[in-house]
Structure 1
Amino acid sequence: MGRISNRKKIVKHDPLIESNVVSKKQQYRHGNKKEDINSDDEDVEKETFINSKQTKKILDMAKEQQDEIFFEETGKHLNEGKNIEVDEEDEDEEEQSEFEEDYLEYNDDIEEFANDFAEVDPEEARILEEYLEKSTKTKAAPGLTLADKILNSIKAKEMEQAEPSSNNDNLNDFSAAPRRDEGVALPPKIIKAYSIIQQILTTWTHGKLPKLFKILPSLRNWQDILYVLQPETWTPHVIYEATKLFVSNLNPKEAAKFLNIVLLPRFMTEVAEREKHDVSYHTYRAMRKSLYKPAAFFKGFLFPLLEQESCNSREALLVGSVLAKVSVPVLHSSAALSWLVSQEREMTNANMVFIRVLLEKRYALPYQVIDECVFYFMRFRNVLDGQEVDEKTEVLPLVWHKAFLSFATRYKNDITQDQRDFLLEVLRQRGHKEIAKEIRKELLAGISREFESTISYNQGDIELS
C-alpha cells in the first residue's frame, strides 16, 4: 500500500488588490455567478444608451458650465462663437436665395425660347406642311425608303467617279483592286501580316501559335494564304500543329486538300533528304493525327503517294506502320482495299505493302471486297517464278506471299469452294518454298461460306426443336 502523507496543504492568499479583481476565467469557472455577471453587463449596456432629450440637456448644461468658466476667467460671455454661427447661417441663406434666383431666370429663358419657336410665319408653316405630306407619301410607298434613297445616291456618285477613271490610260497605276471575276487577290495588309507570321513559323518550336494562323481553317481562301505562308519552310512542330488544326476543323474534302498540299510534300522531302531515310517525330505524329479523318487521309495522302512513280517500298513501310497502329473504320478500309486490288493498279511493292497491312487488321470485310481480293491473287497464276516475260524475269516479292498468307488465315471461311480451288491452283504455280505449306494448310482447314450458312441454319432448327 502507498504511504499516506500527513502534510497539510498550505493555503496561499492573494494580495488584497488582486483579490478584488476577478478574472474572466474565474467568472466562467463559477457557474452560479454567470447570471450575476450577465445582469451586470446588461445594466452597463442600458446605461450606455441615452435618449436624445437627455443628450440635449447634457449639452446645454455643458455649455452653461463653459460659459461660467469663461466669464470667471475673462469677464465676458461666449457670444463671439454664437455670432460666428449666425453669420454662417446667414451666408447659407444668401447662397440659397441666389440659387433660386438663377433657377427662376433659367426657367424664364426656356419659356422665351419656347415662345420664339412657337411663333412661325404662315409661309414657313405652309412649306413645313408640304414637306410633311411628301414624307408621309414616301413612307406609304412600299419600295422606297430612306435607306434606298441613300444607296441610290451613293451608287450614282460611284458611277460618276468610275467613268473618268476608266477613260484614263495610265497603265502604271496598280492601286486599284482587281475584280472578283478576274481572280482572287489578297489585300496588302493581309499579305504583310501573314508574311510576318511566316517568319515566325520558320523557327517556332513551342508556345502559343499566332491567332491569325489559328483562324485559317475558318477562311474560304485558306489555300491562297498558305501560299503566302510557304509551308515548305515550316518547322516539323508547326506541321504537326497545323495538321491537328486543319483536320479537326475542316470537312474531309477540304482536309484532303491540306494533306495533299502540306503534309505529303513534307513527308517525301524528309524521306529523301534525311540520312536514315525516315521522317521526324513530329511529322510522324502529324501522319497519325491525319488518320482521324480516314477519307481525307486516303484521298489526300495515300492514293496520291501511290500514284507517283517515285513511290518506293521505304515510304510505303513508313506510312504502313502508321496505318497499322491506328484503327480505321471498316467501310473506309474496305473502300481503300478495293481501290488497291483493282485491275487498274499495277503490281508494285508499295501497293502490296498496304494490301497486307489492311488484311492484317482482320476486319469483317464485305463479300464484294473479298471476291476482289481473290481475283487479285488469281491474276498471278499464269506466270511462273523465274520465267522471262517481255525480256524480264518475273519474281513475286516476299510481301505478296505474306499478304496471301494473311488473307488465307483470316478469310478462309468467307470464300466459296470454287474460289478455294482457284487459290490452291495459284499456290501450286506461284507458291513460296517455305510459306506455301502454311497457306495450303489454312485454305484446306477452312469451310466454304455456302456450307457454313447451311450448317448454322440446321443448328438453329435443332435448337428450336
Structure 2
Amino acid sequence: MGKAKKFKVTSRQQNANLVPLGQQIEQGEFAVPTGRVKRYKGDIQIRDETLVEGKLSASILRQASLQAEEVNKELGIDTKPKIKSTNLDMSDDSDDDQADDDLEIHRFDDAEIEVNADDDLAVRKFMSKDVTPRVTLGDLIMQKINERKTELLTQFSDNTEVTKDLDPKVVEMYTEVGEVMAIYRSGKVPKAFKVIANFKNWEQLLYLTNPEKWSAAAMFQATKIFASSLKERMAQRFFNLILMPRVRDDIDEFKKLNFHLYQAMRKALFKPGAFFKGFLLPMCQERNCTLRESIIIGSVLAKCSIPILHSCAAIMKIAEMEYSGANSIFLRVLLDKKYALPFRVVDAVVFHFLGFRGEKRELPVLWYQCFLTFAQRYKEHVSSEQKHALLEICKIHYHSSITPEIRRELEHSKCRDVEMAEPPQAAMF
C-alpha cells in the first residue's frame, strides 16, 4: 500500500474550525472576498510620470498661441475668428436630422486649386464653342404647365378653368421656407421642406422655395433628403436641374468649391445611376467642362466607392463621346479604381484611343496620363491586334516622358488571346 498523502491545513482553515458549527453553516451561504486585487493593463500607471499643474499648463498654452499668432503675422496668414453658425430649429422631428452617420466625411481642402495655364489652354481647344442656354427648373416647370394646359384644353370644349393653381397658403408657406433655406447654416430643416419629395408636384413646390438662392449648407441638406427619398429618375432630375448648375456656378465664381457642395456631390453618389445620368454624363456631353471643374469632380469620384456596373456603363459612355479634356480625367479616375472590367468595356476604351489616329491638334497631357493608366491597369486584357494598334498610336502621338512608359507597359505584357508557349509538363510519379 502506498503512503497516505498529508493535507496541509492553512491558518484560515484552522481559524474556521474554531468557529461554532452554526456560524460555519451561515457563512457558507455567502461568498467571502478573497482579498485578491486584480490588475489590468489599463490600470497600470507609470510612477515616474509627473503632471503639470493647471495654472502652468494654461500659461504654456497661452504662450504657444501668442507665438503661433506672431508666426502667422510674419507669413501673412489671416487668423480671424470663425463666426459661430446659427442653429435654426424649424422642425420637431429629430429622427430625420441625423449626424450623417452613413457618410464618411473627408474634409476637402478649400484652398484654391492651382491649374497649369498650358494644360488649361490645351483643354480649351477641345471644348465646344456652341454655348447652349442652361435649362432651369422654372423653365422646365412652365413648359410642363403649358403642355398640360394644351392637352387638357383639347379634351374639353367649354371654357371652364381646367388647371387649378396651388392653395395660396401653400404658396405662402413654401415661399417662407425658401427664405429660411437662403440663410440656413446648420440645425434642423423645416418639416415642410422634408416632405416635398412625397408629393407628385414636388418640382413645382421646390420651385417656390427658389433653389438658386439656397445656401450651400441648405443644398447639402436638400441633396441628402432627395437622394434618399426620390426614385432614381426623379433624383436624376434634381441632380441635373439644381445640383449641377449650383456646383458649376460656385466653381466658376470662387475658383474653388464650397465644402457643403462638395459633400452634396458625395451624398449624390449614393444613387450612382442618377448621378451619372443627371450630373456627370451631361457635363461631358456639353463639352464645356473646364479643367478646374473636372479636377474637383474627379476627386469626388476617386474618394467614393462606386458599384462596378455603374462604373462600366459610365466608362463606355464617356469613351464613345466626342472628346473633351474632362473625359480623360473622368476616365483616368474610373480606370484607376482597378475594376475587373468586361472585355466589352476594355474594347470601348481601346477604340477611344484609336480614334485619335487622324487628330492633328496637340493633345493635352491629360490624354497621355489616361493612356498610361489604361496601359498599366489593363495591358493584359487587350488582344494582340489591339496591342499593335495602340503601339502605332504611340508613334503618331508622342510625349517625351509619358509615351516611353506606355510602350514599355504594352511591350512587356501578355495579350488575352495568346496561349502559353510551353504547355505545362506532366507530373512525375
Same fold (TM over 0.5): yes
Residue of structure 2 in register with 1:228 after alignment: 208
Write the mapping of 1:110-125 to structure 2, written as runs, cut at 5 A.
none
Deviation at 1:278, TM superposition (A): 1.2
Residue of structure 2 in register with 1:40 after alignment: none
Q: Deviations over 1:53-72 (max 9, x none)?
A: xxxxxxxxxxxxxxxxxxxx
Are 1:282 and 2:260 counterparts? yes
Are 1:379 and 2:316 counterparts? no
Which of 297, 322, 327 aligns to 1:346? It is 322
Which structure has more RCO (C-alpha within 8 Å, separation ≥ 6)? 2
SS of match in other structure, 2:362: coil
The answer (yes or no) to whether the contact 2:298–2:329 under 8 Å persists in 1 is yes
C-alpha distance in 1, partners of 2:193/2:422? 60
Residue of structure 2 in register with 1:38 after alignment: none
Q: TM-score, normalised by structure 2?
A: 0.60
Deviation at 1:307, TM superposition (A): 2.5
Which of 218, 227, 238 aligns to 1:258? It is 238
Amino acid paired to 1:334: C
Write the mapping of 1:396-415 to structure 2, written as runs, cut at 5 A.
396-415=363-382
Which of 307, 310, 315 aligns to 2:285? It is 307
Are 1:361 and 2:361 counterparts? no
Deviation at 1:416, TM superposition (A): 0.7
**CA shift in 2, pair 1:378/1:309, >3 Å:** closer
**CA shift in 2, pair 1:237/1:428, >3 Å:** same
Amino acid paired to 2:404: K
Residue of structure 2 in register with 1:370 after alignment: 346
Which of 195, 200, 212 aligns to 2:175? It is 195
Deviation at 1:462, TM superposition (A): 5.5
Amino acid paired to 2:182: T
Deviation at 1:309, TM superposition (A): 4.5
Residue of structure 1 in register with 2:84 after alignment: none
SS of match in other structure, 1:450: coil
Deviation at 1:464, TM superposition (A): 12
SS of match in other structure, 1:449: coil
C-alpha distance in 2, partners of 1:317/1:190? 42
Which of 156, 178, 184 aligns to 1:204? It is 184
SS of match in other structure, 2:341: coil
Deviation at 1:456, TM superposition (A): 12
Residue of structure 2 in register with 1:267 after alignment: 247
C-alpha distance in 1, partners of 2:313/2:298? 16
C-alpha distance in 2, partners of 1:337/1:456? 34
Are 1:335 and 2:313 counterparts? yes
Residue of structure 1 in register with 2:387 after alignment: 420
The answer (yes or no) to whether the contact 2:350–2:386 under 8 Å persists in 1 is yes
CA RMSD for the aligned pairs?
2.5
Amino acid paired to 2:227: V
**Structure 2 spans left out of the alignment, 5+ residues:** 1-21, 23-157
Deviation at 1:346, TM superposition (A): 2.1
C-alpha distance in 2, partners of 1:426/1:210? 57
C-alpha distance in 1, partners of 2:178/2:372? 50
Residue of structure 1 in register with 2:220 after alignment: 240
Residue of structure 2 in register with 1:95 after alignment: none
C-alpha distance in 2, partners of 1:395/1:408? 21
Amino acid paired to 1:375: F
Q: Please tell me whether Structure 1 or Structure 2 has the larger radius of gyration of its CA atoms.
A: 1
Give the helix-richer structure, 1 or 2: 1
Deviation at 1:379, TM superposition (A): 1.5
The answer (yes or no) to whether the contact 2:311–2:334 under 8 Å persists in 1 is yes
Deviation at 1:377, TM superposition (A): 0.8
**Structure 1 spans left out of the alignment, 5+ residues:** 1-30, 32-167, 170-175, 388-393
Residue of structure 2 in register with 1:120 after alignment: none
SS of match in other structure, 1:341: helix
Amino acid paired to 1:217: A
Amino acid paired to 2:284: L
C-alpha distance in 2, partners of 1:319/1:463? 55
Identity over aligned pairs, percent: 39
Deviation at 1:396, TM superposition (A): 0.8
C-alpha distance in 2, partners of 1:280/1:438? 37
SS of match in other structure, 2:380: coil
